[in-house]
Structure 1
Amino acid sequence: MSLPRILVVDDEPQIQRFLKPALSAAGYEVIEAGTGGEALKAVATRSPDLVILDLGLPDMDGKDVIASLRGWSNVPIIILSARDRESEKVDALDLGADDYIEKPFGIGELTARIRTALRHGNRQDAIPTIVEADGLTIDPLRRRVSRAGGLVHLTPKEYDLLLLLARHAGRVVTHKMLLTSVWGPAHGDDLHYLRVFIGQLRQKIERNPTEPAIVRTEPGVGYRLISDQ
């Protein structure tokens, strides 16, 4: 059985020297690219299972790499960048990146994010059969949400919001994606509206809404549903 193949796209030699042995030790085959052009060619010819992408590349912006890849590939993309502005994260995620980690980073966090992205990479936006999260059960086929056998009553919008997060379980879903998908393009900037609904949803699904374990906030970016899978 072949190892999952990861393409690391970064022009910093020290990052490549660190990541290749660390990821190899974690059970991955690692291939490398130092430019956006090399990255696009490697995805086309080497078929990696996941791409780790820096945004600051010598020949093009990493966001242009994401946009290009998403025109013809669904390969999971994790951004690994020193850019810490919220707008950079939001833009990268809205373009189709699956996750975003800031430099400096811990290898434990990176490998955990890799495992999550690989688990969901083949499913994309398919509706899962059942999602379990901190004792909560989400059953999309029956449109049923329950805890300990008891039905959790959600409004249609609350359910649609939860289902969208469940479809992307483990991944960041941006404010804009949530708003436009659930309420329509005209509501893409209604952040207060979204926060109100997230608060209402947490009151119904979380054991402790003040310390949410299911729907986590990614400050300035969006939300992430943490499932048991």
Structure 2
Amino acid sequence: MLKRRILVIDDETALVESICFNLEREGFQTFSSYNGIDGLEAIQTVKPDLIVLDLMLPGLDGLEICRRVRKSEDIPIIMLTAKESEVDRILGLELGADDYVTKPFSMRELMARVKSVLRRFQVAANGPDVLISGDVSLNKATREVTTRGTDVTLSVKEFDLLAMLMLNSGRVLTREILLDGVWGADFFGEPRTVDVHIRWLREKIEEDPANPKYIHTVRGVGYRFNPPTEQQS
């Protein structure tokens, strides 16, 4: 069985070595880079299954790397940050990071989060592989989405969020349910993370994001994906 490939990008040599050592003990194959520019090149050559990425890096910072990766890749990303600011945390998640760990952290915590993110990234075993509602089509097996006959590029979280909404078409899902289902029960971020990703999702699949046809806000509760029959009523 092929080992999962984990790329660690951080400028603290001792920390990178410790992370890689612990990942290898857990059965992963590891690769490392110590600045943003080398890290971006390594992403293209290594083709990792997951990236552990420091926020503050020489050359290119973690947020810029996250931006560039998300333009073309759906690789899960765990951000490492020494900053306590919630803005930095949410910004990282807005850009497509799948989780974050605040320094200093225990290796046990990081290993648990790596495994959790990789599990969440797997195609859900339950439900049909292809979901179709109106002119929106989502293929869980290939992680492809089309709307009005055009391919749409979604980040990992945007795809998982849309899949959860479509699987529960017509039902109102609270922010807490969406956080638990998409980000996992061990996610400790802000509920507004859901709002940010809903906004990004609407911009990509709705003809008029300001007047959404599919993803409706239920004020004070959460969100609902409207099937075509409800849209016409």
Q: TM-score, normalised by structure 1?
A: 0.63
Deviations 1:138-178 (A, max 9, x none): 9965x49xxxxxxxxxxx57237577546624266444224
How far is the alpha carbon of 1:37 from its aligned partner?
1.2
Give the one of 127, 130, 134 matched to 1:129: 127
How far is the alpha carbon of 1:120 from its aligned partner?
2.6
Unpaired stretches in structure 1, ≥5 consecutive residues: 131-137, 145-155, 188-192, 199-229
**Aligned residue runs from structure 1 range 65-104, under 5 A:** 65-104=65-104
- The number of residue pairs the alignment matches comes to 174
Structure 1 pair 36–128 and aligned structure 2 pair: CA distance change class (3 A): farther
The SS at the match of 1:58 is coil
CA distance in 2, matches of 1:121, 1:102: 22
2:151 counterpart residue number: none
8 Å contact 1:80–1:100 — kept in the other structure? yes
Is 1:115 the counterpart of 2:135? The answer is: no
Structure 1 pair 158–66 and aligned structure 2 pair: CA distance change class (3 A): same
Amino acid in structure 2 at the alignment position of 1:65:
I
Amino acid in structure 2 at the alignment position of 1:31:
F
1:196 counterpart residue number: 220
Structure 1 pair 175–140 and aligned structure 2 pair: CA distance change class (3 A): closer
Q: What is the root-mean-square deviation of aligned Cα atoms in Å?
A: 3.6
Amino acid in structure 2 at the alignment position of 1:129:
G
**Aligned residue runs from structure 1 range 118-197, under 5 A:** 118-123=118-123, 129=127, 141=167, 143=168, 156=170, 158-159=172-173, 164-165=178-179, 168-170=182-184, 173-178=193-198, 196-197=220-221
Q: TM-score, normalised by structure 2?
A: 0.62
Structure 1 pair 166–19 and aligned structure 2 pair: CA distance change class (3 A): closer
Structure 1 pair 186–104 and aligned structure 2 pair: CA distance change class (3 A): farther
How far is the alpha carbon of 1:127 from its aligned partner?
9.7
8 Å contact 1:49–1:75 — kept in the other structure? yes
